[in-house]
Amino acid sequence: MKKLLLFCVFVVTPAWIFAQDPPVGRPDMPSMTLTGIKDGQPLADVLIELEKSHPVRFFFAPEWLEPYTADSQYNGKSLRYMLDDLLRASDIRYSYMFGYAVIFIRDPQRTLEHEARVQTAIAKKKTIESRELGDRRKYKPGSRAAITGNVKDESTRHPMVGVIVLVNDVETAVTDEKGNYIINVTTGENMIHFKSVNFRERVIDAKVYSPATLDIVLEEAPTVLDEVVISEQAVLNRRISQTSLRVTDMKRAPTFLGEVDLIKQVQNQPGVTTVGEVAQGFNVRGGGVDQNLVLYDGVPVFNTSHALGFFTAFNADAVSQVSFYKGGIPAEFGGRVSSVLDIKSKEGPLDKWHGGGGIGIMSSYLTAGGPVKDDTSSVIASVRTSYSDWVLKTIKSNYQDVQNASLSFYDGSLKYIHKLTNRSKLTLSGYTSYDRFSLTNDTLYTSRNIAASIHYDRTFTERLFGTLSVSFGKYTYGTSDDDPTQAYDLSYGITYPSVKLDFNYEGEHKLSFGAHHTWYDFAPGSLKPTDPESTVRNIDMRPERSSESALYFSDAFYWREKFLLEAGLRASFFNRVGDGVTYHYAEGLPRLRQNITDSTVYDKGESMKTYVGLEPRVSLRYTLNAFASIKLGYNRMYQYMHLISNTAAVTPVDIWQSSNTYFKPQIADQISLGYYRTIQENMYEAYVEGFYKVTQNVLDFRDGASLILNKNLETTLLPGDAEAYGVEVSASKIKGRLQGSLSYTYSRSWRTVDGASEEEKINDGNRYPSNYDQPHVVQLGWRYGLSRRIFFSGTFVYHTGRPMSLPIAGYSVDGVPVMTFSDRNKYRIPDYHRLDLALIIEGTHKRKKMLDGTWVISFYNAYGRKNAYAVFFQDNGKGFYNPYKLSVVGTIVPSVTYSFKF
């Protein structure tokens, strides 16, 4: 049958075989741009016209194409686009052969199968190479042809025995002692795989015309733990304001003290800034550090760093996938108003055990994973720990604080997956991080994160998938002091168990919907004297409970082919639950302690305050052509948790506070619009994206606010509005030996706090720059492959110094010096810029080696700039305080890290 049909094809245009010899180097015909198509013109006519004007031949039976007409919308599009578009739902397929012929085939079986194989291979992240085998002029469709060849080891050049050769997924041959093989295939399109243990599989998409030889060399596979590199989704097709971070990119970037840092990679994204090195978290499009939702396997993580912000609390070796959204945020995410950083951890390999590790100046890590039961369940564990305090102890200093300082941290993760049936899977994931830091002998800070979850995934039908997740999260910190006279223990904690149910439906409309519920239990702090001599008072803050739930629905579909519209709605419900006390303040007077008139006491379980938020989310993509698209995003987000801080960065002792009568939810509306295009066959991509964002009910602190263990936090914080806008311009080269990107962002971030009374205004109610208003940001990153395993990479970052307030005059009252401050954030610290360089030497891909090692030699802050981190004031000896800048890293910081895989 197949033969007959093909024969039929060729009979229709009998001159096929002696058509002109295709010239060498001819452009890819299906990509040719169409012109002159009239509305309603039959497809067959269009093709015949094309034959006249282009060196191309079409082979088809006219009646097959009869039902199809083209119209003028295809002008400017490629031939492939038109054919794919028109024939999408039909049983007609076409293939492109000989460099000039487009052959239409009615029996789609083989073509469909071939396409399916290609799709599978792509889905498995395999590289597919296209080859033409044999002599085109001897092509006899449907005939059999023998392919012979030899397989060699790329590095040793020895013939390889036992290499499995699969043709169209059927094992057909195995190489002999001399590495030779012979296979018989049907001419036409064939997928040929060459597989051998420990070697990278090669997949050849072969167009076989006649008997031929095909010699192959196989390259040793780096035995990575199933590190899923995010598929290189073209800039055209991603959602607006979305980025995927690749773990390999992180590992090939310069490091600070040798620690591969996920958050620092986030900070290098356009639109993202940070206030400095010892800054936990990051600021997205003028938002606060508390406005980022950081999820680890779906569980929010409150503290994302180690050692006061020097390092990220996530071990890059345990991470498989990182998605970052700064706008157009999908409806499934909620609870923070600025961005979502969605981190997925690695799954253990199902076939065999692998491991890896690394040794750096600060810490070492080890990862191991493998099957528990072949093809059914796997486990992976990863642990990273800092060394004892030897780094600090080796330093000679006049500063006792440094001599007595100690610092240590660790983090670990564990993941177990179990395929229950073909249609269901169970995943258990656990993560913890711990920090311990002391500046003097006596004072000790500790903090800990826990994120644990169980996911049950089920496929209901071919198109409907569902996941039930139950998770537990906890964030605690404490500080204590041993000195008898002031011995104390201060502790703080948030516990947040949660249940989530999510569904996805894949069809013409891609639907997602679900329900989330999270309970929050805040232990806002207790201060306990720990020594009978201690002069510290016992303070116990009342625990606070609240719950946050959400229902969401989202639909993504193509509209008139060119528009991809994703529209969703999230409804969030917040409930502050007793027990608790709400203080009432005198009407018309500033909200200060002395103006408390009354209080209402709520019993356990009683609802104290509820809020409901409707959060529309829209993301729209308009495809201009194969190289360009325009995207638009709008989202409204509600945030019911507030970071109570009077600093720009997150500090170890910051307080999270849930919404209540006085702290209304933050509500952000963001609109973003961008133009994206690829250049030179996806060699380059570039985009311009603008955004405008307003946020209501952001909190800023009243002057001199004392935040820790304050039972009336509403007296120290003032609600206001935030406004941010900006333009991000980025250009990247994503292929080739030299890869990199350059971006520039202009953005502003403003606050306005204009309360009723003079004491409830900041800067007299006028708008002022927020703490992280950094108008100009330039980011440059590159990686140059000196060879296949040696890379020279670097990053450069420049941003305007962040705003600060300065004392501008002074006087004394009763012998006590007093300083007068400028308006809030009127001045700026000096501009920040830094260059980091790294040389990465990856292991040779030798087969017999036990370990595959990689060296990373990094130079952080290569030209040793003393970037100001903080401004503080020192007595100038005349009673006044003068400003000094503190540079956390004031010099070049070299480091060497060795990592390995087995």
Partner 1 sequence: MRSLLLFFVFLLTDACVDPLKVPNLAVEQGLVVDGAITDQPGPYTVQLFSAQSLDKDLDKRQYVGGAAVTISDDHGHTVTLTENATGTYQTDAIQGVVGHTYQLGITLEDGRQYESTPVLLEPAGTVDRVFFQFQENSINQNDLTKPQDAFAVYVDATGTPGASNLFRWRWKGIFHYIAFPELRTRGVGRTEIPDPPLCSGWIYTDSTGLDQVGPCECCDCWAPQYSTDALVSENDFINEMEFKTVRVAQIPIDKRLFYEKYHIEVEQMSVSQDIYAFWKLVKAQQQSASDIFQPAVVKIKGTIRCTSDPDEKAYGIFSASAVTKSSVFIRRLDIPKAIPQIDTLKTDCRTIYPGATNQRPPFW
Interface with partner 1 includes 646 (CB under 8 A)?
yes
Taking the C-alpha atoms of residue 405 and residue 438, their distance in angstroms, rounded to an integer, is: 5
Interface with partner 1 includes 36 (CB under 8 A)?
no
Q: Which stretch binds partner 1 (CB under 8 A): 80-88, 495-503, 731-739, 826-834?
A: 826-834
Taking the C-alpha atoms of residue 263 and residue 282, their distance in angstroms, rounded to an integer, is: 8
Interface with partner 1 includes 813 (CB under 8 A)?
yes
Q: Which stretch binds partner 1 (CB under 8 A): 132-140, 200-208, 502-510, 891-899?
A: 891-899
**Site residues (CB under 8 A) for partner 1, limited to 830-849:** 830
Indicate which single residue of 222, 543, 775, 807 sits in contact with partner 1 (rule: CB under 8 A): 807
**Cβ burial, residue 442 (10 Å; 0-12/13-18/19+):** middle
**Site residues (CB under 8 A) for partner 1, limited to 335-364:** 361
Interface with partner 1 includes 710 (CB under 8 A)?
yes
Indicate which single residue of 822, 831, 841, 843 sits in contact with partner 1 (rule: CB under 8 A): 822
Taking the C-alpha atoms of residue 264 and residue 280, their distance in angstroms, rounded to an integer, is: 10
**Site residues (CB under 8 A) for partner 1, limited to 650-689:** 651
Interface with partner 1 includes 84 (CB under 8 A)?
no
The single residue listed with the structure tokens 């900070």 is: 267
* Residue 474 phi, psi dihedral angles, 5° rounding: -150, 135
User: Which has the closest alpha carbon to 337: 23, 640, 753, 719?
Assistant: 640
Interface with partner 1 includes 893 (CB under 8 A)?
yes
Interface with partner 1 includes 643 (CB under 8 A)?
no
CB 608 within 8 A of CB 582: yes
Interface with partner 1 includes 225 (CB under 8 A)?
no
Question: Residues touching partner 1: how many (CB under 8 A)?
Answer: 84
Indicate which single residue of 135, 232, 401, 606 sits in contact with partner 1 (rule: CB under 8 A): 401
Indicate which single residue of 374, 821, 846, 863 sits in contact with partner 1 (rule: CB under 8 A): 821
DSSP 8-state code for residue 867: -
Min. distance of Cβ 574 from partner 1 in angstroms?
28
Min. distance of Cβ 658 from partner 1 in angstroms?
22
Which is nearer to partner 1, 198 or 876 (by Cβ)?
876
CB 271 within 8 A of CB 277: no
Which is nearer to partner 1, 232 or 540 (by Cβ)?
540
Interface with partner 1 includes 856 (CB under 8 A)?
no
Which is nearer to partner 1, 130 or 820 (by Cβ)?
820
Indicate which single residue of 19, 395, 420, 790 sits in contact with partner 1 (rule: CB under 8 A): 395
Residue 876 CB: number of other CB atoms within 10 A?
12
Interface with partner 1 includes 467 (CB under 8 A)?
no
Indicate which single residue of 711, 737, 788, 846 sits in contact with partner 1 (rule: CB under 8 A): 711
**Site residues (CB under 8 A) for partner 1, limited to 411-450:** 439-440
Interface with partner 1 includes 755 (CB under 8 A)?
no
Interface with partner 1 includes 764 (CB under 8 A)?
no
Which is nearer to partner 1, 257 or 414 (by Cβ)?
257
Which is nearer to partner 1, 571 or 653 (by Cβ)?
653
CB 214 within 8 A of CB 152: no
Taking the C-alpha atoms of residue 898 and residue 843, their distance in angstroms, rounded to an integer, is: 10
Taking the C-alpha atoms of residue 26 and residue 100, their distance in angstroms, rounded to an integer, is: 8
Q: Which amino acid is at 266?
A: V
Min. distance of Cβ 798 from partner 1 in angstroms?
19
Taking the C-alpha atoms of residue 794 and residue 835, their distance in angstroms, rounded to an integer, is: 7
Interface with partner 1 includes 863 (CB under 8 A)?
no
CB 105 within 8 A of CB 58: no
Which is nearer to partner 1, 105 or 275 (by Cβ)?
275
Min. distance of Cβ 301 from partner 1 in angstroms?
21
Indicate which single residue of 824, 845, 865, 901 sits in contact with partner 1 (rule: CB under 8 A): 824
387 CB-near residues (< 8 Å, 6+ apart)? 362, 363, 364, 408
Taking the C-alpha atoms of residue 78 and residue 100, their distance in angstroms, rounded to an integer, is: 15
User: How far from the centroid of its chain's Cα atoms is residue 422's Cα?
Assistant: 29
Interface with partner 1 includes 24 (CB under 8 A)?
no
The three-point CA angle 424-334-550 to 5° equals 70
Q: Which stretch binds partner 1 (CB under 8 A): 164-172, 574-582, 642-650, 690-698?
A: 642-650
Q: Which amino acid is at 114?
A: H
Q: Which stretch binds partner 1 (CB under 8 A): 41-49, 78-86, 200-208, 890-898?
A: 890-898
Which is nearer to partner 1, 402 or 632 (by Cβ)?
402
Q: DSSP for 762-791?
A: SGGG--EE-TT---EEEEEEEEEESSSSEE
Min. distance of Cβ 705 from partner 1 in angstroms?
8
User: How do strand 101-105 and strand 128-133 relate by DSSP bridges?
Assistant: unpaired
Interface with partner 1 includes 827 (CB under 8 A)?
yes
Which is nearer to partner 1, 372 or 808 (by Cβ)?
808
Interface with partner 1 includes 884 (CB under 8 A)?
yes
Min. distance of Cβ 253 from partner 1 in angstroms?
19
Interface with partner 1 includes 881 (CB under 8 A)?
yes
Q: DSSP for 15-48?
A: GGGGSPPPPTT---GGGPBP--PPTTEEHHHHHH
**Site residues (CB under 8 A) for partner 1, limited to 257-276:** 257
Interface with partner 1 includes 532 (CB under 8 A)?
no
* Residue 109 phi, psi dihedral angles, 5° rounding: -50, -55
Instruction: Tell me the CA distances in angstroms from 231 to 134, 235, 570, 761, one per residue in order.
Output: 33, 12, 28, 49
Q: Which stretch binds partner 1 (CB under 8 A): 13-21, 144-152, 190-198, 874-882?
A: 874-882
Indicate which single residue of 806, 839, 841, 857 sits in contact with partner 1 (rule: CB under 8 A): 806
**Cβ burial, residue 813 (10 Å; 0-12/13-18/19+):** exposed
**Site residues (CB under 8 A) for partner 1, limited to 482-521:** 483, 485
The single residue listed with the structure tokens 């060498």 is: 24
Indicate which single residue of 894, 898, 900, 902 sits in contact with partner 1 (rule: CB under 8 A): 894
Interface with partner 1 includes 599 (CB under 8 A)?
no
Q: Which stretch binds partner 1 (CB under 8 A): 376-384, 453-461, 814-822, 845-853?
A: 814-822
Interface with partner 1 includes 559 (CB under 8 A)?
no
Q: DSSP for 306-351?
A: EGGGTEESS-GGGEEEEEEESSS--TT--S-SSEEEEEEEPPPPSS
Interface with partner 1 includes 460 (CB under 8 A)?
no
Crossing angle for the helix pair 79-86 and 43-53, nearest 10 degrees? 160
Taking the C-alpha atoms of residue 137 and residue 48, their distance in angstroms, rounded to an integer, is: 23
Taking the C-alpha atoms of residue 119 and residue 900, their distance in angstroms, rounded to an integer, is: 32
The three-point CA angle 266-268-272 to 5° equals 70
User: How far from the centroid of its chain's Cα atoms is residue 798's Cα?
Assistant: 22
* Residue 38 phi, psi dihedral angles, 5° rounding: -100, 160
Interface with partner 1 includes 883 (CB under 8 A)?
yes
Rounded CA Rg of the chain = 32
Which is nearer to partner 1, 614 or 809 (by Cβ)?
809
Interface with partner 1 includes 765 (CB under 8 A)?
no
Interface with partner 1 includes 876 (CB under 8 A)?
yes
Instruction: Tell me the CA distances in angstroms from 535 to 441, 489, 522, 529, 711, one per residue in order.
Output: 19, 12, 27, 7, 21
Taking the C-alpha atoms of residue 258 and residue 894, their distance in angstroms, rounded to an integer, is: 9
Min. distance of Cβ 374 from partner 1 in angstroms?
46
- Site pattern 114..153 for partner 1 (x: CB under 8 A): ----------------------------------------
Q: Which stretch binds partner 1 (CB under 8 A): 213-221, 419-427, 549-557, 646-654?
A: 646-654
